[in-house]
Amino acid sequence: MYDVREYMYFCILGSHPPLSTAELFSVLPDIKKPILSDKMITFDSTSWDAFNLMNTLGGTVKLGEIIYNAHSAELTPALLADLIAPSKASAEGRRSLDFGLTVYGSKSTQKKFFKLPIQLKKELKAKGYSVRWVTGKGGEPLSPAAVAKCGLTDNPNADLCLMVNENTVLIGKTTEVQDADAWSIRDFDRPRRDSKNGMLPPKLARMMVNLAQTPDGGVLLDPFCGSGTILMEAAIGTNIAQIIGSDIDKKQIQDTEANNNWLVKEKFITAKDAKRFRIFTSDIKEIQKFISPKSIDSIVTEGYLGPPLHGTESQKTLSANASQIHDLWVDSLVELKPLLKTNSKLVIITPEYSNTNGHSAVMLDADLNNLGYKKENPDLSVLNIESTLSYFRDNQFVKRNILILKPI
Ligand SMILES: C[S@@+](CC[C@H](N)C(=O)[O-])C[C@H]1O[C@@H](n2cnc3c(N)ncnc32)[C@H](O)[C@@H]1O
């Protein structure tokens, strides 16, 4: 008998592990005993539903079950071979078995177990299997697309994810992977994309929608909707009753409408689902004319990030941009407050600029109390995660800080 704790699962997180963790904790609020190492998080949960979870989360690329929990000294190729292929392949027909193996943990741990996949391959061959070790490109962890392509979630194939800490090893077997094609199609193939305004990646939009946890039958608003990435992600697989988008720019509203129609055409949502959209042109300062008081359950929005940056702006320009966006947010939070229901949540982005000349960030913390809001970013200190959740790509001059607010 193997020592496996009941209900023990794992997720392999995407490019921004703190943000992905916050999303996971919002979607699965009963998580217990979480451990985070590198991009792998393990935990107990009684409401695990692998398929639904994989289709819901934007920030998790693989997930599965922990099949073995042991002392790290026990980690041998023979143990892994026994776990994925408990019996010998029959003498008459060699069975083929493809596997992937990724070790998560410190760099030194990864180095220590560098040879494990080759040793496992040998061990499985000795058991009579015809074995293929599927590797990630250039030593990278095996991608969800490769796991799907090689059928590694189908027995006896296996994609093993190992969390090796100082004394323990948790061995996970992937059961679901992110549908990389569907995400990429929504990112790159939608008809209207606006690189000038900065495109919100759909995975980040989905994470924000999940952080808001709009109740079933509730109303979600994006008052700076641009070409509608957040609205699209809010419409897929949710029971939100109304999805409202507005923007000051009529062209953006036309783009949102075109993207929403495309979403139906590509069968991401049904025509009936699309009836939930309500899209209109409005300056945020006029929005009360269009929306009834106390009718909104959640506001999920990227907000205005300021003029596009080229990386050559002076410190003075960066500070002036931050000050302009700060003031727009103060005005916006005043306008939005009467529209909110008591238990509503806001998930917004405040930009932080940096280049070789300087740095400037939009900070709202000091204004929140006066404006009638409080910050509600999840407390992930048990995992050594700061409450500031950020999204940043190396080649960009704008970092997006995600702020979760509640009215008081
Ligand atoms: C960064 S873009 C949002 C992009 C959007 N998340 C998307 O995925 O396409 C910010 C948007 O805010 C809009 N905007 C700027 N000032 C505004 C205001 N005062 N009221 C309403 N919308 C405004 C801009 O037209 C722009 O489309």
Q: Is 208 in the pocket of ligand 1 (CB under 6 A)?
A: no
Atom 5 of ligand 1, residue of closest alpha carbon: 226
d(CA 210, CA 298): 11
* CA-to-CA separations, 280 to 38, 190, 219, in angstroms, rounded: 43, 20, 15
Residue 70 confidence (pLDDT) above 90 = no
* pTM, rounded to two decimals: 0.95
Q: What's the total number of domains in the chain? A: 2
Whether residue 184 lies inside any domain: the answer is no
Residue 2 confidence (pLDDT) above 50 = no
d(CA 50, CA 381): 26
Q: Are 23 and 59 in contact (CB under 8 A)?
A: yes
Residues 221 and 350 occupy one common structural domain: yes
Tens digits of residue pLDDT in 273-289? 999 999 999 999 999 99
Residues 120 and 14 occupy one common structural domain: yes
Residues 131 and 262 occupy one common structural domain: no
171: containing domain: 4-178
Which of 134, 154, 178 is the endpoint of a domain? 178
Whether residue 168 lies inside any domain: the answer is yes
Residue 257 confidence (pLDDT) above 70 = yes
Residues 286 and 195 occupy one common structural domain: yes
Q: Are 391 and 404 in contact (CB under 8 A)?
A: no
Q: Is 159 in the pocket of ligand 1 (CB under 6 A)?
A: no
Residues 304 and 390 occupy one common structural domain: yes
Which of 124, 155, 178 is the endpoint of a domain? 178
Q: Which atom number of ligand 1 is nearest to the Cα of residue 198?
A: 1
Which secondary structure element, helix H or strand E, spans residue 164, and what is its range? Answer: strand 158-164
Residues 153-163, mean pLDDT to the nearest whole number: 94
Q: 227 CA to middle of ligand 1, Å?
A: 9
Tens digits of residue pLDDT in 29-43? 999 999 999 999 999
Averaged pLDDT of the chain: 93
Q: Is 198 in the pocket of ligand 1 (CB under 6 A)?
A: yes
Q: What is the reported pLDDT for 180?
A: 94
Q: Is 201 in the pocket of ligand 1 (CB under 6 A)?
A: no
Whether residue 197 lies inside any domain: the answer is yes
Q: What CATH code is carried by the domain that includes residue 135?
A: 3.30.2130
Q: What is the reported pLDDT for 91?
A: 58
Residue 159 confidence (pLDDT) above 60 = yes
d(CA 130, CA 90): 12
Q: Is 247 in the pocket of ligand 1 (CB under 6 A)?
A: yes
Residues 227 and 149 occupy one common structural domain: no
Whether residue 328 lies inside any domain: the answer is yes
Residues 151-176, mean pLDDT to the nearest whole number: 94
d(CA 134, CA 274): 41
Residue 263 confidence (pLDDT) above 80 = yes
390 - beta bridge partners?
401
For ligand 1, pick from 195, 304, 398 the residue to mutate: most ligand atoms within 8 Å of CB: 304
Whether residue 185 lies inside any domain: the answer is no
Q: Is 284 in the pocket of ligand 1 (CB under 6 A)?
A: yes
Residues 361 and 382 occupy one common structural domain: yes
Residue 130 confidence (pLDDT) above 80 = yes
Q: Is 227 in the pocket of ligand 1 (CB under 6 A)?
A: yes
Whether residue 395 lies inside any domain: the answer is yes
Distant-in-sequence, close-in-space partners of 4: CB < 8 Å, separation ≥ 6 = 66, 67, 68, 69
d(CA 244, CA 294): 14
Atom 26 of ligand 1, residue of closest alpha carbon: 226
Q: 224 CA to middle of ligand 1, Å?
A: 4
Tell me if residue 105 falls in helix, strand or coil: coil
Local confidence band at 111 (pLDDT 50, 70, 90 cut-offs): confident
Q: Is 349 in the pocket of ligand 1 (CB under 6 A)?
A: no
d(CA 172, CA 65): 5
Q: What is the reported pLDDT for 1?
A: 36
Residue 80 confidence (pLDDT) above 80 = yes
Residue 400 confidence (pLDDT) above 70 = yes
Tens digits of residue pLDDT in 211-239? 999 999 999 999 999 999 999 999 998 99
Residue 28 confidence (pLDDT) above 60 = yes
Residues 29 and 152 occupy one common structural domain: yes
Q: What CATH code is carried by the domain that includes residue 321?
A: 3.40.50.150
CA atoms within 13 A on the CB side of 298: 25
Q: What is the reported pLDDT for 198?
A: 64
Tens digits of residue pLDDT in 358-371? 999 999 999 999 99
Q: 247 CA to middle of ligand 1, Å?
A: 6
Provide the strand spans (E) within 108-191.
129-133, 158-164, 168-177
